[in-house]
Structure 1
Amino acid sequence: MGDHCRLEDDLTPTEFSRIELNTGWEFKQVGAIGVPEPTDKFASVAQFPTNIHLDLELHKRIPDPFMGLNEYKVQWVGEQQWLYKTDFAIQTKPGHLEKLVLQFDGLDTFADVKVNGRLVLTANNMHRTYRVEINDQVQVGTNVLEILFDSAVIRGKQLIEESGFKPGVTPQSTDPSRLVVRKAQYHYGWNWGPELMTCGPWRPIRLDRYSARISDLWASIGISVKDKSAAVTVTADIESAFEGDTVIFTLIDPHGQLIDTSDPVSIVHNSASTTFNIHKAQFWWPTGYGKQPLYTVGSKLIRKGLVLHERERRIGLRHAKICQTPLIEASGTSFFLQVNDIPIFSSGSNWCPADHFVPRVTNGKYRKLLEMFVQANQNMIRQVKVWGGGVYEEDIFYDICDELGIMVWNDFMLACGTFPADKAFLNTITAEADDNLRRLRHHPSIVAWSGNNEDYLFATLFKTQYDINDKYPENWLKTNFPSRYIYEKLLPELCEKLIPTTSYHPGSPWGGKSFNDPTVGDTHMWEVWHASSKPYQDYPKLGSRFISEFGISSLPHIKTIESYLVGSSLSERHPHSRTVDSHNKETLHERKLATYLVENFRYNYGLEEYIYISQLLQAEAMTCAMRAWRREWKGPGREYCGGSLIWQFNPTWQVTSKALVDHFLRPKMAYFTVKRDIAPVSLGLERKTIKHRRFKYTRAFIDNETRILGWATNVTLKSVTYTLNIKAFELSTGKEIFDKTETKELGSNMTTELFDIELPATMGGPEEAVIISSCLTNNDGVVIARCTNWPQPYKYLDMPKADITVRIDGDKIYVRTNDVPVKGLALYVEDADSVGFEDNLIDLVPGDEQVVVANGMNGRSVTYRYYGIDF
């Protein structure tokens, strides 16, 4: 350092400058394999950042892969090499002690980078940020940057052959070679997405010039909720620091006002830090529990009075951790998030990429999807782009989660298989994790990291060598489940170093004697739909301490289906056509969906009816699960279930899937039922039949007693008192046979059991269907929560035709039944994208007019459908 300091005395340091290399890009095919009409001419890109499918579609070399059966026509694209290039200008050669660095935020996936024909970088990991110094490669004037992308699927197969690695892989993937390639796993095909093997510069490329820079800025935060205070220790890591360099730190409040500025801080071992103490601190809270104020920490690198580089981060003052503590009157331990000393029941969904082609997802689409997430009362999102089969999400995704108060459970990008753990693989995983932890650790929304998605489950499925009592990591590398080393040593050590105050969980699911132990850790609840395909009515019996995946498929909106049927024959407009089937990637989906439908409903086979009935199925199943599992949030020491996350919130394209919102942001009906079931205050009902034998051995003389149990969950932090009304109706006539009203107090942040009553008798005898309706109203007569309970399965009910009145006043739709109870009333408008329903798919009982707000009605008419309307 001493020699450098003397040389520096005669030089003026260079301030940090950055150029976005986002113009002038062209691409072409190289060394075409098996393609009828290859071309060696460069063509312009569709956008930047980009990927190959977007560029080829622009020039009509391929059809839209999302349309019809086109996915299968474009498979050749993923087996080719593609060259991208652009020019950039340099006015002067880099000076002494000055750096010229190319930064690649994302190269998908195997890429050789050349500057003026000289190789400067060989990349092999889509999830990494690469930086390479090019001082010796540039010239004054025009310089040429070229990136040659190789086929990831072919390279993966070659790596499998060369290494001898024997992957264990699930039917989710079309090719086991994905396990040795650091590429988004969903690109190889998943049970909700197409197989489209992308490549290209999928994230920004930048050219930096500087003498020194702030390479990282982060904050360690300690808070005292009781004292409303916080201590924020801000650290700046410096690249190419010199003796005498200093850093000045600033802290800005959520309103943009400067709170404090530090004195110049000397740099020691390439790092500088200071601590700000905040009184009357404004804490960051998950949505529904408070506001989301965001402070800004800033830093300036100073040399000889000149500001060389500035950097800042937005932060939130909060403390979050996963709590796993002994329970009262239950085995195992709890599993829930605690934020700022408050236990939080996590209600939400798993997030998938907002488009298979990530570069074309706009900031507006991210915001709209995440706003829809919060509007549905969801507070935690788990990702596959934050789930292990996708990508570490864009910065804007986390920024919006910070602003909206969405808690993020972030997986490392390892999913559904047994991965290698040789030296090269461990090195790339280390670099990948280090890059992304440093990039994302300032976000208050990220409350937990998980080592993988379902890898432990599949290690069990493939009967790998796993000894839970073996505590020696070097032994794990010698087994046929070597990636245990990644989840239980490499990643936790990195997290302890870089994010010591954020909880790390080895995998999802993880915990207990088995990797899906319902009493310890989290579980993926696939006994319904997958595995043994149990009835969805079994959801209440299949709960656990935290359910991080579960779901049932349904078809998307009719307009979404029609969007991929453009140009198809009329015969393809059928729920079981070849094209509609190809837009359902679920293994054995025909059997699964048909089984659940035939077990529960009567229905016809028209496309619109099939869409409705599949969405009704999904909605009823999600309601059954969410109400029952939330019921187990019983208060301190009795957090028997700490959260439930639906698989999934959104898909990557137009597909039949378990998503609550389809590719064009059109909510399915389950979106609305889930919104009601996880509202701050919600109601639940259970119908329980008790058999009484008249004597010990009889099979014939049995008296059935049917009871209705009711509960309310209040996740607000205040106890509330409401009026509870319970009514019962004969389904066939709509006659009211029971009416009871009483006052109930609901404890804060817990479930309160409300009643246990015998089902009222009817004039029609024991076979008469009885519908139970309950609601909570406040002192002003406003209904806070509703719930109905119907005999199941619905297919055994003789559904009477209903006399329904619909009245529209501005953006409000008033609906009521004039005679009999109605199941699953769905409201529709012709232009689905111009009206935003705040509620839908409602049950009606006589005497209870409901109001549905539909923003943007502007005089439009409404049509409706309910269960039984077509019988």
Structure 2
Amino acid sequence: MVSLTRNILDAGWEFKQVGAIGVPEPQDEFLPVAQFPTNIHLDLMAHNKIPDPFIGLNEYKVQWVGEQKWLYRTFFTVGAALEGEKTVLQFNGLDTFAAVSLNGTKILESENMHRTYRVDVTSTVKENSNVLEILFDSAIIRGKNLMKERDFKPVGITSGATDKSRLLVRKATYHYSWNWGPELTTCGPWRPIYLERYISRISDLSTKVSVSVLDETASVCVSAEVENGKGNHSISFTIIDPDQNVIATEVAKISDSGLCSVQLKVQDAAFWWPIGLGKQPLYTVRAKLIRESKSLHERERKIGLRSASIIQRPLIDTPGTTFFVEVNNVPVFSSGSNWCPADHFVPRVTAQRYRKLLKIFIAANQNMIRIWGGGVYEEDIFYDICDELGILVWNDFMFACGTYPADAAFQKEIVAEVENNLKRLRHHPSIVAWSGNNEDYLFATLFKAEYDINDTNPENWLKSNFPARYIYEKVLPELCTKLIPDTSYHPGSPWGGKYFNDPTVGDTHMWEGEYSFPQLWDLLWHHISRPWQEYPKLGSRFVSEFGITSLPHVKTIESYLVDSPASERHPHSRTVDHHNKELQHERKLATYLIENFKYGFGLEEYIYISQLNQAEAMTCAMRAWRREWKGPGREYCGGALIWQFNPTWQVTSKALVDYYNRPKMAYFTVKRDIAPISLGIERKEIKKPQFEFTRAFIDKETRFLGWATNVTMKPVTYSLTVKVFELSTGRDLMTRVETRELAANISTELFDLELPKSRKSTEEPLIISTCLRTLSDNGNEGTVVARCTNWPQPYRYLNMPKPKLDICVHGDIVTAKANVPVKGFTLYVEDVDGVEFEDNCLDLVPGDTQAVVSHGLNGRAVTWRYYGME
């Protein structure tokens, strides 16, 4: 008997242009590829055939690339096949319309970037030399032809990308441009290609885990599917614990249908937990296909022993239902952000780059990441790292912002795509939820598609101009029930309740705020640009998207200005504007900045003030929504995910880190606001007329309310300090110190106090500061656990005093203190990529010295900026 052999075909690849259209100098000779896997833009750049489209305005200059046909080929050798041995080519990803030939014989027509294809080439492959060719057609041209041939007329516009033909093409939507990404339509073999030879193989290995947290036990049902396993075949199943000890083994026969399964028990189980709640031990499940005592094929999966589900149940004293993730019977508040592909050209994202980004993610105390439906089903290594780090993953299926078709052929393609990816990914403990689409229900509603939420007849859905509802509410849930019955499925994001963005049921995208019933939407950022100070009123059961734009680091901007004249180094230059894809971004960003701050128009200051605006907005939202995590039956908000964590190129966007992994100021404020223990303050002005109808004689009282959120599993006791300062003098008007206990996994209201009067002037701005410190056994205060400040707004009304700063650098520790309150104190170094700060964008108050830990400082000069700095 012969064991399975598998070889990656990654050597000797070359490419050229075929049938050039409108290109002055066609590339009609084969050139070696830049790497493998690859795509056409990477290869053309490597040979200086096109300029880097990420630099300057070069995106415009390379549009022709996406409208051409490109041929890739390689040569490989194989030995003679043994009797009964099958030869298969496996294509893990072809982008997108591809005709594949082996030795001149067409073996595959691909039309889906998101799928893996396996092709039996036993009768086509030759002993010794073979040639494999892949001809990639233009997704743009093919998509437009499909629209014309099918007379496809989707309802309404499409977000970001204006090309409606994308709805017919199973390609990453962001390639068609988005409001944070370029229009660069790729093609090429974007994932590995393998050559396999075998007589029998394990075609699928899956597990179903049941846990008993109380008993510390788990039951693992392991199932395998075998290709050509009839006869005297069996499978040996083994579970190996995180310490590499074999803890259970069983051998089972294979049924005539090729299926085999066993039930294995785990005693003293080590459970998998999200980051912050416990460890992330991973068990190995191994299956070995055996015949006549010989191993023919082995497969294994890393699994975590855990239960996870989205909990939707009635709330106490309020309408609607909860929406939060529960892991191992423990409710979890989901704090995190949305993930876009780490690069517009995914083949150049290395495992090291994935790991660095995801470590930056958890370093900001984030515990959930949502894979957005306009990108790709991510690489295996992405989910492996999420498993290791304890990151909860919400994964959209790849539909975004449009009314997709749902004819029989399209459905068939979707079924194959979804089955492929669910089987590939279902073993990952990090994946706790799948969602049918991104904002498709929103588009169907806003553009008045034939969508009756009360119509429960699936056949009617197919007859409407929103037929994709059939996919989201029938096809996908049936596939999930079949393949991942223990993982929660949600038909869309946002979805739930009386309409797509009902704040009382399901999740919402907070580009809109509802103030009353019936529906009344005021758009935050996208349309009316409501003040971000209204975020506390715009909460919901789970906010899965919200955000505010800011410019990236100055060196990131300079990276795309390298070939531009000096005049383009300006926040409103043509080139900088080109790297901001948001519709009407000039008006939107200007509105938020002018409403809130005084500022100049130098590039560095504009970057700073836009990032400070984003940081303040995210703080306002995160503090308020975490406050609504009030315990069993009162989980009024179960999570908040910022749009977005990362961009795909150097761009002005809502991301927390920029293309070069450089954190923005909001990254640090969010890190503090979603820490295991965090503080919040609300300022309220109460006006009472002294008598009826008066406008002149009004009694005013200003109160400030404070709360803390503890998302750990233990109650804690801390020393709470509350202070009120005059802004201009730094004078302490009030100090209150008390011991407070914070219950586990809940927010706790701390105080409701009247703001004291300034001794200087009734118009003197007062700054509120709170701080939690640990307590030793003898009652002495120790280290700071959390800080929070509250400032009167808008900031543009404040005359910021010139502080006396004391900044000291001791090795890798930077300490800062000030004699008056300081807003947005931010540290910088020239070698930005050589130094990492654990904290930044601080609010300083008198008497509180703050220390920032850095990594890699090594004597480098430190500079800083704060709001109002000359």
- Please state which band the TM-score falls in when normalised by the shorter chain: over 0.9
Deviation at 1:305, TM superposition (A): 2.1
| Equivalences, count | 853
Q: Mapping of 1:202-601 within 5 angstroms?
A: 202-383=190-371, 387-526=372-511, 527-601=523-597
TM-score for both structures, normalised by structure 1:
0.97
Q: Is the 8 A contact 1:418 1:481 kept in 2?
A: yes
Which residue of the partner structure matches residue 815 of structure 1? 816
Aligned pair partner of 2:638 in 639, 642, 650: 642
Amino acid at match of 1:642: G
List runs of 5+ in structure 2 lacking aligned partners. 512-522, 777-781
Which residue of the partner structure matches residue 97 of structure 1? 84
Amino acid at match of 1:404: L
Deviation at 1:462, TM superposition (A): 1.3
- Looking at structure 1, the residues matched to 305 and 762 of structure 2 have their Cα atoms a distance apart, in angstroms, of 59
Which residue of the partner structure matches residue 181 of structure 1? 169
Q: Is the 8 A contact 1:247 1:267 kept in 2?
A: no
Which digits, 9 at most, give the CA deviation of each residue in 1:398-422, with x for residues without a partner?
Answer: 0000000000000000000000001
Which digits, 9 at most, give the CA deviation of each residue in 1:78-106, with x for residues without a partner?
Answer: 000000000111211x3443210000000
Which digits, 9 at most, give the CA deviation of each residue in 1:645-693, with x for residues without a partner?
Answer: 0000000000000000111110000000000000000000001111111
- Looking at structure 1, the residues matched to 691 and 165 of structure 2 have their Cα atoms a distance apart, in angstroms, of 63
Q: Is the 8 A contact 1:246 1:267 kept in 2?
A: no
Matched, 1:794 2:790: no
- Looking at structure 1, the residues matched to 397 and 470 of structure 2 have their Cα atoms a distance apart, in angstroms, of 14
Amino acid at match of 1:845: V
Aligned pair partner of 2:2 in 14, 19, 30: 14
- Looking at structure 2, the residues matched to 639 and 182 of structure 1 have their Cα atoms a distance apart, in angstroms, of 38
Q: Is the 8 A contact 2:325 2:334 kept in 1?
A: yes
Amino acid at match of 1:849: T
Which digits, 9 at most, give the CA deviation of each residue in 1:700-727, with x for residues without a partner?
Answer: 2112211100000000011111111011
Amino acid at match of 1:260: A
Deviation at 1:137, TM superposition (A): 1.1
Shift >6 Å, 4+ stretches: none
195-204 vs 799-808, greater mean Cα deviation: 799-808
Amino acid at match of 1:98: E
Q: Is the 8 A contact 2:334 2:367 kept in 1?
A: yes
Corresponding residue SS for 1:486: helix
Which residue of the partner structure matches residue 36 of structure 1? 24
Q: Is the 8 A contact 1:723 1:778 kept in 2?
A: yes
Which residue of the partner structure matches residue 830 of structure 1? 830
Corresponding residue SS for 1:630: helix
Which residue of the partner structure matches residue 856 of structure 1? 856
Which residue of the partner structure matches residue 8 of structure 1? none
Corresponding residue SS for 2:628: coil
Aligned pair partner of 1:684 in 680, 686, 695: 680
Corresponding residue SS for 1:854: strand
- Looking at structure 2, the residues matched to 704 and 239 of structure 1 have their Cα atoms a distance apart, in angstroms, of 78
Which residue of the partner structure matches residue 630 of structure 1? 626
Amino acid at match of 2:143: G
Q: Is the 8 A contact 1:265 1:274 kept in 2?
A: no
Aligned pair partner of 1:666 in 630, 639, 662: 662
Deviation at 1:267, TM superposition (A): 3.2
- Looking at structure 1, the residues matched to 623 and 34 of structure 2 have their Cα atoms a distance apart, in angstroms, of 46
- Looking at structure 2, the residues matched to 415 and 272 of structure 1 have their Cα atoms a distance apart, in angstroms, of 38
Q: Is the 8 A contact 1:245 1:267 kept in 2?
A: no
Which residue of the partner structure matches residue 843 of structure 1? 843
Amino acid at match of 2:528: S
Amino acid at match of 2:796: K
Q: Is the 8 A contact 1:213 1:309 kept in 2?
A: yes
Amino acid at match of 2:204: D
Which residue of the partner structure matches residue 153 of structure 2? 166
Deviation at 1:582, TM superposition (A): 0.4
Which digits, 9 at most, give the CA deviation of each residue in 1:148-187, with x for residues without a partner?
Answer: 0000011000000111121233241131110000000000
Amino acid at match of 1:486: I
- Looking at structure 2, the residues matched to 501 and 838 of structure 1 have their Cα atoms a distance apart, in angstroms, of 38
Deviation at 1:699, TM superposition (A): 1.5
Q: Is the 8 A contact 1:711 1:755 kept in 2?
A: yes
Corresponding residue SS for 1:439: helix
TM-score for both structures, normalised by structure 2:
0.97
Corresponding residue SS for 2:463: coil
- Looking at structure 1, the residues matched to 449 and 179 of structure 2 have their Cα atoms a distance apart, in angstroms, of 24
Q: Is the 8 A contact 1:68 1:566 kept in 2?
A: yes
Amino acid at match of 1:591: R
Which residue of the partner structure matches residue 112 of structure 1? 99
**Structure 1 residues 719 and 268, CA gap change in structure 2 (3 angstroms):** farther
Percent same amino acid among aligned pairs?
68
Which residue of the partner structure matches residue 9 of structure 1? none
Corresponding residue SS for 2:182: coil
- Looking at structure 1, the residues matched to 82 and 847 of structure 2 have their Cα atoms a distance apart, in angstroms, of 82
Q: Is the 8 A contact 2:72 2:135 kept in 1?
A: yes
- Looking at structure 1, the residues matched to 711 and 248 of structure 2 have their Cα atoms a distance apart, in angstroms, of 37
Q: Is the 8 A contact 1:296 1:313 kept in 2?
A: yes
Which digits, 9 at most, give the CA deviation of each residue in 1:563-618, with x for residues without a partner?
Answer: 11002100000000000000001000010000000000000000000000000000
Aligned pair partner of 1:769 in 756, 765, 769: 765
Amino acid at match of 2:212: S
Matched, 1:698 2:694: yes
Q: Is the 8 A contact 1:382 1:409 kept in 2?
A: yes
Aligned pair partner of 1:145 in 132, 136, 154: 132
Deviation at 1:268, TM superposition (A): 4.3
Matched, 1:200 2:193: no
Amino acid at match of 2:263: T
Q: Is the 8 A contact 2:54 2:650 kept in 1?
A: yes
Which residue of the partner structure matches residue 608 of structure 1? 604
Deviation at 1:531, TM superposition (A): 3.0
Which digits, 9 at most, give the CA deviation of each residue in 1:602-648, with x for residues without a partner?
Answer: 00000000000000000000000000000000001000000000000
Corresponding residue SS for 2:675: coil
Amino acid at match of 2:823: K
Which digits, 9 at most, give the CA deviation of each residue in 1:231-286, with x for residues without a partner?
Answer: 00111111111122111111100111111221343334211111110111000000
Which residue of the partner structure matches residue 804 of structure 2? 803
Amino acid at match of 1:814: T
Amino acid at match of 2:739: T
Which residue of the partner structure matches residue 520 of structure 2? none
524-533 vs 510-519, greater mean Cα deviation: 524-533
**Structure 1 residues 610 and 90, CA gap change in structure 2 (3 angstroms):** same
Corresponding residue SS for 1:378: coil
Q: Mapping of 1:727-742 within 5 angstroms?
A: 727-742=723-738
Which residue of the partner structure matches residue 516 of structure 2? none
- Looking at structure 2, the residues matched to 593 and 163 of structure 1 have their Cα atoms a distance apart, in angstroms, of 41
Q: Is the 8 A contact 2:14 2:72 kept in 1?
A: yes
Which digits, 9 at most, give the CA deviation of each residue in 1:332-365, with x for residues without a partner?
Answer: 0000000000000000000011000000001011
- Looking at structure 2, the residues matched to 31 and 170 of structure 1 have their Cα atoms a distance apart, in angstroms, of 31
Which digits, 9 at most, give the CA deviation of each residue in 1:272-312, with x for residues without a partner?
Answer: 11111011100000000000000000001112222111000
Deviation at 1:550, TM superposition (A): 0.1
- Looking at structure 1, the residues matched to 828 and 322 of structure 2 have their Cα atoms a distance apart, in angstroms, of 42
